[in-house]
Structures are given as C-alpha cells and as structure tokens.
Amino acid sequence: MTIEQEIKERARSLGFFQCGIAKAEPLVDEEQKNREMIAKGYHAYKSYLENNIEKRFNPTLVVPEAKSVIVCLYNYLTNVHLNSDYKMAKYSFITDYHTLIRDKLTLLAHFIHQQSPDTAYKISVDSSIVTEKNWAVRAGLGFIGKNSLLQTPQGSYFLIGTITTPLLLTPDTPIKADCGACKRCMDACPTHAIKAPYQIDARKCISHLNTEAKNLESSEVEYDSKWLIGCDICQEVCPHNVNAPLSEDATKHLAPFIHFKNEDFNTLSEEDFKRYFIGTCLERRKYHHFMTSIKNAKKQL
C-alpha cells in the first residue's frame, strides 16, 4: 500500500467521506477570479477577504516548504429534520464543524507525520486564509457548480478541511465535469444572488446575510427569512443531490437543539442559548444576532 493510499484509508477511518491530494502550487486562475469578485463588491461584509490574497492562493506563503495539500470531505447530511416551521441549513444540525473536522484532521496529520513529528504543516477548516474549495477541485474531489459550491458525484453536502504539508505526495487528477445547461440553482434563488454562473453576490445571499451581516434589520434585501442560519435552497434543487448519501458519522454528532419547536425558538433565553447552542456553529452568531433572525423569521410563519 502506498503512502497516499494509507492516508486516504486513515481519513476514511476517521469519518471523512473522501480524501484527495493536490500539488501545492500557486492557484493563479483562482486568484484572478477572486480579485474580480472583490472588485465587484460581491464579498459584501466579508472585508477580511480583501486581506492576504496572495497567501490565500499560494500555499508556500503559508507553509514555506509546502509540497502537497491533502483535502478531506466531511459529509454532514443526516436524515434529521428540524421539528419546527423555521429553517436552518443542514450543516447546523451537527456540533460545530470547525472543531469536529479540525480534531479529525489533527489525528490524520499526526498519522501522516509520525515519522517526522517536528514537520511544519497547516490545518484549515473554513476559518483561515486557505481556500479549501479550490483545493478540493485540484485534488480531484469535484468541480465548482454554478452556485459556487463544490459539486461531487455524491452531491454537495460536504464540509472541507485541508492539511498543507511539506511531504511530497502523488497528486490526484482533477475530474472533468460541470453543470452543463442546468441552472436550477440560479432559478430557485429567491433573492437572485447568483448573478451569473459561478458568481454569487453575497449582499443578496440569504446564507451570507444571516451568518455574516451585523444588522439584519437594516438589510436592503427582502427574502424568505424563515432561514435562521444558512440556506439550502440552491442545494435542495440541485440534481447532484437527488441521491446524496447520508452520513453515519454526522449522526453521532447532532446538535443539542435539534428537538426545538417553534415555541422553543420564540422564547429562547440567553441562558438557554448557552445551554443548547454553545458548541455549535450558532455560537459564533451570538445570542442577540440569532434572536434578530428569529424575530424576522417569525413574520413569515
């Protein structure tokens, strides 16, 4: 068994759905597209995307001796449904994925570097300058869909984590696929946030507004505010997700608020917020912001 095969087998044993490897090199085309997106203002409240652009697309500026980027996909789709009229993105149904996936990647990194424990490497899970989605494409795990999400043969309900390492590994081959003529996600978006294929205006994106916007009440965008956190509309209509597999591992890590009904949300106290939402992705949204989302969403019930 090759080292690459061992890494992928170990990743699966840790609960990852799939693992791929990419050569650590500058992402020239991806950087250019990112700069064009920022120039149009599509990044909205995410002003941090204007910083360290070179680092985001050049792994050797993050790990100087970087040779490979190991990319792992975590399937977060469960058969659990919120027992409420409110809506929440499916990734919120599990405990905070940043911590969950980072812990798994840490174990994988220790396994990979056990022969040289002092080796410098970088773990990333949607909270650093690393552009995980583009590395997933380079690692042969999927392609970018018109809704800007990673699309795989098994759908798009995946979270992405990476390990940038100085180890020289054989890279996987990117797959050749695209959305073809399909534009269901574009047609289904209630705020028309998908301005063109692969171009998302975050200023109109429901998911962006209820996770990043500091003041939802001052938003100029009117939308189906039943969504308290995130939005799955563009994924729910995607043909790639018709037979999306369920995750056995994610089912082991369900969030403690999953039983909530309408009244539980409506009467949520700050004390109960700490009890049921600390340790989930809602924690970073803070209590008062979450209650604003509930207040807006209640008008739609």
Q: Which residues pair with 123 in a beta bridge?
A: 163
Q: How far is CA 290 from the centre of its chain?
A: 20
Show the tokens assigned to 15. Answer: 């609960």
96, 118, 126, 249: which one is catalytic? 126
Known active-site residue 126: yes
Sheet strands (E) in 224-275:
227-229
Question: Can you name the residues that pair with 165 across neighbouring β-strands?
Answer: 68
- Tokens 């149009």 belong to which residue? 40
For residue 266, give the amino acid letter.
N
Which residues make beta-bridge pairs with 266? Answer: none
Report the alpha-carbon distance of residue 230 to residue 84 in Å, rounded: 16
What is the rounded distance in angstroms from the CA atom of residue 113 to the CA atom of residue 98?
A: 22
Q: Are 86 and 266 in contact (CB under 8 A)?
A: no
Coil/strand/helix, residue 57: coil
Give me the torsion for CA of 124, 128, 134, 139, rounded to 10°: -10
Instruction: Kindly provide the b/e burial profile for residues 106-121, where b requires at least 16 CB atoms within 10 angstroms of the residue's own CB.
Output: eebbeebbeeeeeeeb
Q: Which residues are catalytic?
A: 126
